[in-house]
């Protein structure tokens, strides 16, 4: 799915393309698939910072999404080349927010704008912001 990834000072960018089976009967990307694109970009971003979810989980750091706010602005179609951005900001003391967008590669047109709120929970289910996540900021 991901073709290339790169990072600027401001945001992470992950290039992808829409696959046929991600589209619904109307020929556009199904709404739930956009969340997969957003999540994939966040996972790839963590990897560029030396983190991955499997390792974090083994270390007892469980990162969870607590809110997803998604604005669907324009539909995407099979074969569209896109790039997904991710820019994390610490909100409050324990919430890491990823401001994200999905844009068409050729036109730059924004198709999706999202605000994904995450937190880490301890093995006992208590929210906190572990020091190891500071590399994301």
- pLDDT tens-place string over residues 79-95: 999 999 999 999 989 99
DSSP-assigned states of every residue in 37-65: HHHHHHHHHHHHTT--HHHHHHTT-EEEE
pLDDT over 70 percentage in the chain: 93
**Range in 64-73, 80-89, 107-116, 121-130 with the lowest mean pLDDT:** 121-130
Mean pLDDT to the nearest integer, 39-51:
96
Res 4: pLDDT = 47
Task: Give yes or no: 20 in active site.
Answer: no
Residue 26 corresponds to which tokens in the numbers above? 């109307």
Looking up residue 23, the CATH number of its domain turns out to be 3.10.129.10
Does the predicted model carry a pTM greater than 0.85?
A: yes
- Domain tally for the chain? 1
Task: Given the residues 24, 52, 71, 80, select the one marked as catalytic.
Answer: 24
Question: Of 83, 77, 61, which is closest to residue 25 (Cα–Cα)?
Answer: 77
Separation between Cα atoms, residue 49 and residue 59, nearest integer Å:
16
Structural domain harbouring 7:
2-136
Mean pLDDT to the nearest integer, 91-110:
96
Kindly report the CA angle at 39 between 33 and 87, in degrees rounded to 5? 125
């Amino acid at each position: 799915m991901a073709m290339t990834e790169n990072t600027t000072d401001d945001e992470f960018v992950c290039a992808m393309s829409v696959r046929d089976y991600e589209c619904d009967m109307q020929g556009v990307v199904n709404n739930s698939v956009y969340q997969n694109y957003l999540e994939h970009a966040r996972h790839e971003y963590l990897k560029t910072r030396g983190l991955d979810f499997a390792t974090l989980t083994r270390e007892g750091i469980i990162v969870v999404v607590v809110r997803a706010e998604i604005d669907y602005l324009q539909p995407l179609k099979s074969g569209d080349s896109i790039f997904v951005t991710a820019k994390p900001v610490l909100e409050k003391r324990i919430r890491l927010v990823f401001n994200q967008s999905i844009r068409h590669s050729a036109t730059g047109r924004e198709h999706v704008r999202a605000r994904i709120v995450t937190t880490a929970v301890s093995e006992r289910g208590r929210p906190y912001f572990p020091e190891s996540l500071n590399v994301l900021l």
